[in-house]
Structure 1
Amino acid sequence: MSAITGKVALSRRSFIAASLAGGAALTFEAKIALAAGPGVPDATVLNAFIRILPDNSVIIGAKNPEIGQGIKTMLPMLLADELDVTWEQVKIEQTDANEKAYGPQVAGGSTATPMNWLPARQAGAAARAMLVGAAAAQWSVDAASLKTSAGRVIHAASGRSATYASLAKAAAAQPAPDLAKVALKKPDEFHIIGTPRKGVDTPKIVRGEPLFGIDTRLPGLLHAAIVKCPAIGGTLVSHDASAVKAAREVVAVVPISSGQCPAGKQDAVAIVGTSWWAVQKLRDKLVVQWDIAAQQGFSTELYAKQAAEALAKAPDATVFKAGYADAALAKAAKVITGDYSYPFLAHATLEPQNCTALWHADGTAEFWAPTQNPGNGRKDVAAMMGIAPEAITIHMTRIGGGFGRRLMNDYMVMAAQVAKAVPGRPVKLLFDRTDDLRNDYYRPGGWHRFTAGLDASGALTAFKDHFVTFGANGKPIRAADMPASEFPASVVPDTHLMQSFLATNLTTGWLRAPTSNAMAFVYQSFMDEVAEAAGTDLPALMLRTLGAPRDLPTERPSIVFSTARARAVIERVVAFAGWTGKPSTVPGKGRGFGFYFSHRGYFAEVVDVTVADGAVKVDKVWIAGDIGSQIINPLNAEHQAQGAAIDGLAQALVWQPIVQEAGAVQTVTFSDFPLLRMDAKPAEIAISWVKNDYPPTGLGEPTLPPVIPAVANAIRAATGKRLRSLPLQLA
């Protein structure tokens, strides 16, 4: 194994394939993906994920990027349970990026559980079947007469048993089973799935061991700092690096493209040297001329002005239309209107963007990358560098915060260009905090003008939303869309959802619970206004509006919205929190509710706040969540739900708008974009799970959206003031 490349010799075996959610295919080869690595020369490979060691311990490969969502622990739990070993026998290793071997490898959209729930278990069960087959052949007995337990195959009739280690080599020679036909455990047979397990990396993180991309250290490592065009989309005209190159630490000065400017142009210059501290201090000596003429007209102030003008005009497009909303509003007993807005937001990951790259003499490239989407990173690098995707090796490091930012791989593309300029030496490209905040893929801002109609009984009969956001060529840009099924559109007979578009030079992207984080705030806050006008509370209005249990279509044919599941979490949180719908008798105290369906998860939340001297303190959050039949790792599920709620509180109360002037982002440090502090965390975030017979789904995102409107509605209850823009500020 090379000390620099980390490559291993690979051999091949037949493929085993299984269907994944959405029609993708998981393929894995018994020996292509996990060869016996350093220190385990006698390991026996059963399939792409499983190696059996001579001491009867098992190495399981964790295939997905780990960003703190616990997937490095959770996916191996599925394999280990079906393999039928104890958790104490398991050692976990992060795999490289290899979709041909492992299937899709992405951290985004809370998709890991629904995509891997069956395939991962099938992979474990297939390995178990091979071990049982080996024992059956060795003992000349029927495989059906054998049982497994704690890494042993047992023949009760004869009293014989054998460890997996003793059977491993014979098992590896067994025919690969058909994954669709392997016998899976019943839920009451699980002994790892459904039990609380600590994160496998937690001890190393506590000890400060190097796990993250920023920690990458390789022999001969060089460092790169960037000077980036101040306005996204601008391009490099010229640069004078003579003063920089005079420094003894500098190895190269390289014009590069982030991929955020027109093809064939550059929008950054990398200074490469023996110390990142040295090269980043030299950036002020680089003389650069930029072309930013086309970007200078964009500003936060202008967006607000254009949005107001757009709301006053006819919309550009219809997102969803049912019935005749205008006619229904004209005869409504009561009409409610409200304008809501939210700003551009950055991801503000604690670990700034970074990537280490090595360009080999044979034209291949190797990366150590904290990427949420290595497959797209491979494609982006291949396209930028003009090499085959197969020429790229990606080692996935742990990620110090992603939240969607690292679904975009500009840092990989930039590192590749720098590495090619210094072939044979690894180079780590690292953003500083200002680079990170000024060159994000931002959550786009938006403005909504709502109108709702109630009949004489207080039922919601008509609904309109004119949504102004950012787009080009009559379509929303990335992450600026609005679902046609946005509740209550699918249940109100006369509904019209409309959209208008503004231009921007900012690159946009998905922020944790994308689209949902914004839509939940505006829709559930306005629905609270509607409930107030109807003389009821929001949970009651929601239950009435949801109507009878039924499944409603969404934009994705594989996903439906179940009104029964929605009702169940609303009813659970109302009971869980002791919701009465009555105002608090204590001045400054308020309680708010929010519901949202996103990323296949149903969540209803109640928030208690105290407002004193214009400051909002969140006292407690109650969460009722439905993510299907199984909570795979209850300890991690609790942490994920609590963490997502805290993230939502930060968006609601603390994160400041990204400010843009003359095309350039002015937000440069955490003083401009503060994070939520420990003392602002609620004293308690209580969670109740609603289980059912539906397949389990993901948890990284769906807890976040409802807490934002719940806070806004609680502030209304505490103060009588309705806050219609984020962040929620009383003064």
Structure 2
Amino acid sequence: MSAETLTRRGFIGVSLLAGGGLLFDLSVPMAARAADGQPIVVTAFIRILPDNRVVIGGKNAEIGQGVKTSLPMLIAEELDVDWAQVTVEQTHADQAIFGGQSAGGSRTTPREWLPMRQAGAAARAMLVTAAATRWNVPAEGLTTASGKVIDRRSGRAIAYAELAAAAATVAPPDPAKLKLKDPADFRIIGKPIGGVDTPAIVAGKPLFGIDVALPGMLHAVLETCPAFGGKLKSANLDEVRAVPGVRHVLTIKGDGQAESLFDGVAILAESWWTANRAREALKIEWDDAGKTGFSTASYERQAEERLAGAAESEVVRSGDVAAAFAGAAKVVKARYSYPFLAHGTLEPQNTTALFKDGAIEIWATTQNPENGRALVANALGLPPAKIRINLTRIGGGFGRRLMNDYMVQAAAIAMQVPGTPVKLLYNRKDDFRRDFYRAGGWHGFAAALDGKGRLIGFRDHFVTFGTDGKAGRGAELSATTLPAGLVEHVLFEQSVLATNLPMGWLRAPGSNALGFVFQSFLDEVAEAAGKDLPALMLELLDEPREVTSGGRGPAFLTGRARIVIDKVLAMSGWADRKALPAGHGKGFAFYFSHAGYFAEVVEVSVVEGQPRVLAVWVAGDVGSQIINPLNALHQVQGSVIEGLGQALAGQRITQVAGAVEQENFDSHPFQRIDATPRIEVAFVTTDYPPTGLGEPALPPVIPALVNAIRAATGKRIRGLPVDLASQPA
């Protein structure tokens, strides 16, 4: 149903439940439009039960970002029920019913902030109308609280459940005329509320994809070529079929696309342990010609050659860059780099699938279910309507589960054993060696300063990975990356290297790497200009103004940036940083990404060449309302910890002969509890719609860290992961 054809009857459907109670089927239009120009229609279910409890559908994928709690909070607030009355149930995936259900890009909050509130307000309005009719009084004289309609004049009250039958006959309200609550009256929004799944998680109850168990289910493992893209030539299938406990050994014919299927051999057994051990007996010959020439050493040689020569293309050019550098009083140059990274989700990729009677049912840990539906439909030759996707809780996504290769693989295996449920589960080696990696990159920077130390020109030659001269997924450099838009003369150029590694989005895509290189280099520029980085940034931000995005995201507002910078400087005692003892230092960074403005300060101590983070201060602006302060704090803390791990824990993906070397957490480690610092967080509320929090707090922490190391040791970190021993003074 499009926004143009949406009627009030289409906006909300109401029906009685068996045994009493009321079901609201709410289709709420959103003013914003999707990237393809089509209207977004968001749907949610509200069930009011006979005992006046309320069941609210959690429609979006839950990966720990908290939407299974925060979106129902929005509905419950406007419905005017107590949170203690609410039970949240995960819905299945169906955008025709529920609207968008993806989880990525910190888009859920801005996309759902208004529609979910409208959903609750619409249901409340119909219940009020039903009560007004019953009591023969004007609806304007009635109010609501705790799941009841109250007559203010007489003091009488009636529970929502008692109004079910009458409300089912009420004409749905015009969404444009709905009156939403004044934030001053919020009783749920803005309150710290624990995650609805937390009690079950603590108790070890089955919620995750890895927990799915169906009668008669077989467990599957899948072996593919170590060098991405290799094709199956031969395998000792009969020998593996003879392993006790193995039920099937199947070949999978791929389409050559990492997003869906590579060639492979699947082993199905009565237990996953049996299937995984049977895999050791596999002897496979692969056709990997053209794939084994890719290696980390080769990439590094090529990058050096590209940086030394002319760039392949321009990303953005403004002003007269050549003249700015020719007339500069001082030119600062430096090269920065960062490696490929894996996602390393705690729960390995998995999907359970059952193919029966020409249709398939899937239980999936997916951040992007409709993309998975389309891929499965194409791979199996099924109509999308024949594919049901049940959403499970996800044990870590960070962007990995925006790709649905494991869903397609499970479906392709299940189709070969009709009527038998099949659970495909990666082992840890699979998970690291069959990822969609954060792309590595190299940057050749130059900055021009005038005689007063002002930044007048900026250049970047960016070398990364992609095809046909275009950067790959998640490796793009935006033409609006700061300081573009703040400096008159800017040139961003790009060169692209070939790789067989599939690339994907890692938490704060693009920004997780660009924040490091740009803010670290600008710290060098500030030092050369005789000032600190906050002073340079505030000078560039100047008077409050809007820097347009060119239609690719929200505009950047310099005034909002200045506020969070000032806030974090005050929080961290930045002015007193020079009083720190020897071997200690504070570093600063600011970054704007995913519509969030974040400034951060990191304090480190360096003892015997080992940096230890002592404290991190974070100031953020994500709009006018923090929906769930408890979850918001956790999101920021998690972003900081993840960013520190990318820099300090030794994370990097390396490649030899077309294959990834890392295969577990020992060779791609993550931040440990004992290395986690004190993290202080402050939110600055501004008069702008709320935006997401899953990502924008991550990018500033890495440059703030390396800038702090510079302050503590005098050494510049220009490559990740941090290795002080290899850095000259």
| Range into which the TM-score falls when normalised by the shorter chain | over 0.9
What is the match of residue 89 of structure 1? 85
Q: Structure 2 matches for 1:519-668, cutoff 5 A?
A: 519-556=514-551, 559-580=554-575, 582-668=577-663
78-87 or 262-271: bigger deviation: 262-271
* % identical equivalent positions: 56
What is the match of residue 10 of structure 2? none
Aligned-partner Cα distance in 1 for 2:696–2:85: 33
Q: Structure 2 matches for 1:339-350, cutoff 5 A?
A: 339-350=335-346
373-382 or 649-658: bigger deviation: 649-658
By how many angstroms is 1:703 displaced? 0.4
What is the match of residue 12 of structure 2? none
Residue segments in structure 1 that go unaligned for 5+ positions in a row? 1-7, 30-47
Q: Structure 2 matches for 1:278-293, cutoff 5 A?
A: 278-293=274-289
Gap change, CA 1:394 and 1:314, over 3 Å in 2: same
By how many angstroms is 1:480 displaced? 1.2
By how many angstroms is 1:27 displaced? 3.9
Cα deviation, 1:281-318, whole Å, max 9, x if unaligned, reads 01122221211111011000000000000001111110
Q: Structure 2 matches for 1:418-437, cutoff 5 A?
A: 418-437=413-432
By how many angstroms is 1:239 displaced? 2.2
Q: State the one-letter code of the partner of 2:703.
A: P
Aligned-partner Cα distance in 1 for 2:257–2:466: 17
- Whether 1:177 and 2:173 are equivalent positions in the alignment is yes
- Whether 1:192 and 2:192 are equivalent positions in the alignment is no
Q: Structure 2 matches for 1:714-725, cutoff 5 A?
A: 714-725=708-719
The alignment yields a C-alpha RMSD, in angstroms, of: 1.8
CA contact (8 A) 1:25 1:103 kept: no
Gap change, CA 1:557 and 1:261, over 3 Å in 2: closer
Cα deviation, 1:674-708, whole Å, max 9, x if unaligned, reads 111110000x1001111111000000000000000
Q: Structure 2 matches for 1:235-634, cutoff 5 A?
A: 235-256=231-252, 261=257, 266-361=262-357, 363-556=358-551, 559-580=554-575, 582-634=577-629
Gap change, CA 1:660 and 1:248, over 3 Å in 2: same
Q: State the one-letter code of the partner of 2:27.
A: I
Aligned-partner Cα distance in 1 for 2:42–2:340: 41
The counterpart of 1:201, out of the listed 189, 197, 201, is 197
Aligned-partner Cα distance in 2 for 1:254–1:435: 18
Aligned-partner Cα distance in 2 for 1:174–1:244: 65
Aligned-partner Cα distance in 2 for 1:130–1:568: 42
- Whether 1:150 and 2:146 are equivalent positions in the alignment is yes
Gap change, CA 1:100 and 1:458, over 3 Å in 2: same
What is the match of residue 39 of structure 1? none
By how many angstroms is 1:358 displaced? 0.7
By how many angstroms is 1:16 displaced? 3.4
CA contact (8 A) 1:15 1:27 kept: no
CA contact (8 A) 1:625 1:689 kept: yes
By how many angstroms is 1:534 displaced? 0.6
Q: State the one-letter code of the partner of 1:352.
A: P
What is the match of residue 215 of structure 1? 211
CA contact (8 A) 1:298 1:661 kept: yes
CA contact (8 A) 1:583 1:717 kept: no
What is the match of residue 702 of structure 1? 696
Gap change, CA 1:632 and 1:380, over 3 Å in 2: same
Gap change, CA 1:175 and 1:251, over 3 Å in 2: farther
Q: State the one-letter code of the partner of 2:112.
A: N
Q: State the one-letter code of the partner of 2:218.
A: L
CA contact (8 A) 2:189 2:627 kept: yes
Aligned-partner Cα distance in 2 for 1:63–1:157: 39
By how many angstroms is 1:174 displaced? 2.1
Residue segments in structure 2 that go unaligned for 5+ positions in a row? 1-16
What is the match of residue 43 of structure 1? none
2:444 aligns to what SS in structure 1?
strand
What is the match of residue 44 of structure 1? none
What is the match of residue 134 of structure 2? 138
By how many angstroms is 1:349 displaced? 0.4
Q: State the one-letter code of the partner of 2:217.
A: L
Q: State the one-letter code of the partner of 1:75.
A: L
By how many angstroms is 1:240 displaced? 2.4
Q: State the one-letter code of the partner of 2:229.
A: G
By how many angstroms is 1:260 displaced? 5.1
Gap change, CA 1:558 and 1:718, over 3 Å in 2: closer
What is the match of residue 668 of structure 2? 673
What is the match of residue 19 of structure 1? 30
Aligned-partner Cα distance in 2 for 1:373–1:280: 28
1:513 aligns to what SS in structure 2?
coil
Aligned-partner Cα distance in 2 for 1:655–1:374: 33
By how many angstroms is 1:14 displaced? 8.0
Cα deviation, 1:378-431, whole Å, max 9, x if unaligned, reads 111111111111111111111001000000000100000111111112110000
Gap change, CA 1:71 and 1:14, over 3 Å in 2: closer
Q: State the one-letter code of the partner of 1:698.
A: G
What is the match of residue 14 of structure 2? none
- Whether 1:727 and 2:726 are equivalent positions in the alignment is no
TM-score scaled by structure 2? 0.94
CA contact (8 A) 1:611 1:719 kept: yes
CA contact (8 A) 2:25 2:46 kept: no
What is the match of residue 13 of structure 2? none
By how many angstroms is 1:546 displaced? 1.1
CA contact (8 A) 1:224 1:271 kept: yes
Gap change, CA 1:13 and 1:576, over 3 Å in 2: closer
Q: State the one-letter code of the partner of 1:77.
A: M
CA contact (8 A) 2:234 2:285 kept: yes
CA contact (8 A) 2:586 2:602 kept: yes
Q: State the one-letter code of the partner of 2:486.
A: V
Q: State the one-letter code of the partner of 1:357.
A: A
**How many residues are paired up?**
703
Aligned-partner Cα distance in 2 for 1:282–1:212: 25
CA contact (8 A) 1:257 1:265 kept: yes
Cα deviation, 1:605-633, whole Å, max 9, x if unaligned, reads 00000101111100000000000000100
1:380 aligns to what SS in structure 2?
helix
Aligned-partner Cα distance in 2 for 1:258–1:580: 59
By how many angstroms is 1:555 displaced? 4.3
Aligned-partner Cα distance in 2 for 1:51–1:137: 22
CA contact (8 A) 2:28 2:118 kept: no
Gap change, CA 1:575 and 1:266, over 3 Å in 2: closer
471-480 or 256-265: bigger deviation: 256-265
By how many angstroms is 1:258 displaced? 6.3
By how many angstroms is 1:28 displaced? 6.1
By how many angstroms is 1:531 displaced? 0.5
Q: State the one-letter code of the partner of 1:394.
A: I
- Whether 1:685 and 2:679 are equivalent positions in the alignment is yes
What is the match of residue 711 of structure 1? 705
Q: State the one-letter code of the partner of 1:706.
A: P
CA contact (8 A) 1:125 1:184 kept: yes
By how many angstroms is 1:130 displaced? 1.2
Aligned-partner Cα distance in 2 for 1:259–1:637: 41
Q: Structure 2 matches for 1:162-173, cutoff 5 A?
A: 162-173=158-169
Gap change, CA 1:304 and 1:263, over 3 Å in 2: closer
